[in-house]
Amino acid sequence: MSEIVDRLQILAPDALPILSELDSRDASLWLMPSFAEAAGPEATAGVLSLPWEFVLSETASEDLLKAVDALDSAIETPLVRRRGLVHVIDVPPSNTVLPPRSLPIFLLNGRTEADNAGFAARARRMEMIRELQQRGVRSLVVLGGPDLMLPAELEQLWQDGFQCGLTIVSDDPEARQKITEWQAGAGARRVTLLPAPAALLSEALHRRYTERADDRLIIRVRDAQGTRHRVDLSGRDDPEHPLLGNYELLSEAHLEYVTPEGLSSEEINGFFRDSSASWRPYAAQMPWPRDDRARNTLTKALRDLDRNGPEASRIFYIRAESGAGATTFIRDLAFGAAMDGYPTLIANQAPFTPSGRSVANFINSCLNGITAADIGKGLRQYEAPWLIAFDRSQWEGREGDIATFARQITEAGRRICIVFVTDALLPVAIYAEKRLENLSDLSHEISQEAAMALGQHLNRFLRPLGTAREAHEWQAFVNHSLVGPAAGRSVFWIALAFWLQRQIDLTETVQGWLYDQFRQKVTDPVVRHAIVDIAAMSTVRQLLPETLLPRSEDFPTRDKLSDLQSTVGALGVVRQRFGTVSHWAMIHDQLGRFLLTGLFHDAPARESAGLAAAQNPDHLRLMVLARIASNPMIAHPDLVELAETFATSIFKIDPGQGRSEFALYWCEALEALDAMPKTFRMASRTFLHHSSISRRRIAKDDLMFPINDDKRADLLRRSTGDIEAALALEHDAGGEPDLNLYNSLAHAYHDLAEVEARRGTPAEQVAALRSKANKATYSAYRLNPDNSYVLEVYARDRLIGASEDPDGAASVALEVLGIVYGAMQRETAELRRNALSRLADKAFDLLLRSAGTVDDTEPSTEGEAIQQALSALGDGMTQREGMSLDDFPRTNRIDAAARLGHPLLRSNAQAVRLRYILACMDHPKDFALQLELLETLDGNRAILSPQLDLELTILMHQRNRHHQASQRFQKLRQLWARGEHYVEVPDRLRWLLDESTGQRRQVRARIASGGDGARLHARVQELQNDRVPFRIAEFDGTQLRPGTNISGLISFGHNGPLLRPLTAG
How confident is the model at residue 1011, as a pLDDT? 59
Highest mean pLDDT among 479-493, 628-642, 713-727, 812-826 belongs to 713-727
The fraction of the chain above a pLDDT of 90, given in percent, is 37
pLDDT over 70 (residue 890): yes
pLDDT over 90 (residue 850): no
pLDDT over 80 (residue 944): no
Instruction: Tell me if domain 2-211 and domain 218-442 are identical in fold.
Output: yes
Please, which pLDDT band fits residue 833 given cuts at 50, 70 and 90? low
Angle at 404 between CA 398 and CA 405, to 5 degrees: 80
Please, which pLDDT band fits residue 695 given cuts at 50, 70 and 90? very high
* In contact, 573 and 586? CB cutoff 8 Å: yes
Please, which pLDDT band fits residue 489 given cuts at 50, 70 and 90? very low
How confident is the model at residue 877, as a pLDDT? 74
Q: Which of 185-194, 530-539, 739-748, 859-868 has the lowest mean pLDDT?
A: 859-868
Amino acid identity, residue 100?
Answer: P
Q: How confident is the model over 20-29, as pLDDT tens digits?
A: 778 778 889 9
Q: How confident is the model over 281-335, as pLDDT tens digits?
A: 999 999 988 888 999 999 999 998 877 778 788 999 999 888 888 999 999 999 9
What is the DSSP annotation of 936-1000?
HHTT-TTTS-HHHHHHHHHHHHHTT-HHHHHHHHHHHHHHHHHS-------GGGSB-B-TTT-SB
Q: Say which CATH class 2-211 falls into.
A: alpha beta
Q: How confident is the model over 712-752, as pLDDT tens digits?
A: 999 999 999 999 999 999 888 767 889 899 999 999 999 99
Amino acid identity, residue 836?
Answer: L
DSSP secondary structure letter of residue 654: B
Q: Which of 440-444, 578-582, 595-599 has the lowest mean pLDDT?
A: 578-582
Torsion of CA 487, 493, 497, 503, to 10 degrees: 30
pLDDT over 50 (residue 481): no
Q: Mean pLDDT for the chain?
A: 85
pLDDT over 80 (residue 778): yes
Q: Which of 200-209, 373-382, 444-453 has the lowest mean pLDDT?
A: 373-382
Q: How confident is the model over 914-942, as pLDDT tens digits?
A: 888 889 989 999 999 999 988 888 866 55
CATH 3.40.50 given to domain 218-442? yes
How confident is the model at residue 443, as a pLDDT? 85
Q: What pTM was computed for the model? A: 0.78
Please, which pLDDT band fits residue 487 given cuts at 50, 70 and 90? very low
Average pLDDT over residues 809-821: 74
Buried-state track 241-273, b at ≥16 Cβ within 10 A, e below 16: ebbbbbbbbbbbebbeebebeebeeebbbbbbb
What is the DSSP annotation of 888-901?
S-HHHHHHHHHHHT
Please, which pLDDT band fits residue 486 given cuts at 50, 70 and 90? very low
pLDDT over 80 (residue 580): no
The fraction of the chain above a pLDDT of 70, given in percent, is 89
d(CA 48, CA 546): 25
Which residues neighbour 261 within 8 Å (Cβ) at sequence distance 6 or greater? Answer: 464
pLDDT over 80 (residue 851): no
For residue 1058, give the H/E element and its range. Answer: strand 1056-1060
d(CA 473, CA 19): 45
Burial tier of 697 (Cβ tally within 10 Å: 0-12, 13-18, 19+): buried
Q: Which of 75-79, 310-314, 529-533 has the lowest mean pLDDT?
A: 75-79
Per the model's pLDDT, the better-predicted residue between 828 and 372 turns out to be 372
The domain segmentation of the chain, as residue ranges, is 2-211, 218-442, 448-508, 633-762, 770-968
What is the DSSP annotation of 165-193?
EEEEE---TTHHHHHHHHHHHHT---EEE
